[in-house]
Amino acid sequence: MRRVLDAHGLMVFLEEEAGFEKVENLLAAAAEKDEPLLMTTVNAGEVYYVVLRECGEEKAAQIEKIMRTLPIRIVDADWTLTREAARLKATCKMSYADCFAAALAKLNKAELVTGDPEFKGVQSVIKIDWL
């Protein structure tokens, strides 16, 4: 099954928070099977700006470098993805950035890996693997 990683899931991994091992195992399996996890550019940017804001430019550059080594395929936000994210935003109470992760999961019939409770509003639309 394809999996989508949102910003929360990647931050859990990078900061070794609760759920870290699950994300680590998913990344290892993705590398082993040569089936990368998916993530939108919007959600990757979300990780980058959080690290930049909280830790500065040097740490953000380090995190960007780490992200490029992980078995994650960054998906650009084209019109199809953006339109689906906008549809979700219009009907669900969640951040616009989170709508991109949910839209990517929906369009790819993938499971979203997250621990962010905002996604409870889309559980009827996409499958969620909770951290």
**What span, in angstroms and rounded, lies between the C-alpha atoms of 91 and 77?**
20
**In DSSP terms, which residues pair with 3 in a beta bridge?**
111
How many H-runs (helices) and E-runs (strands) does the chain carry?
6, 5
pLDDT of residue 21: 97
pTM to 2 decimal places: 0.94
Query: For residue 81, how far is the Cα from the chain centroid?
Result: 14
Burial (CB < 10 A; 0-12, 13-18, 19+), residue 23, is buried
Domains of the chain, with CATH numbers? 3-130 (3.40.50.1010)
* Mean predicted confidence (pLDDT) in 19-34: 96
pLDDT of residue 37: 98
pLDDT of residue 13: 97
Given a contact cutoff of 8 angstroms between Cβ atoms, the answer to whether 4 and 110 are in contact is yes
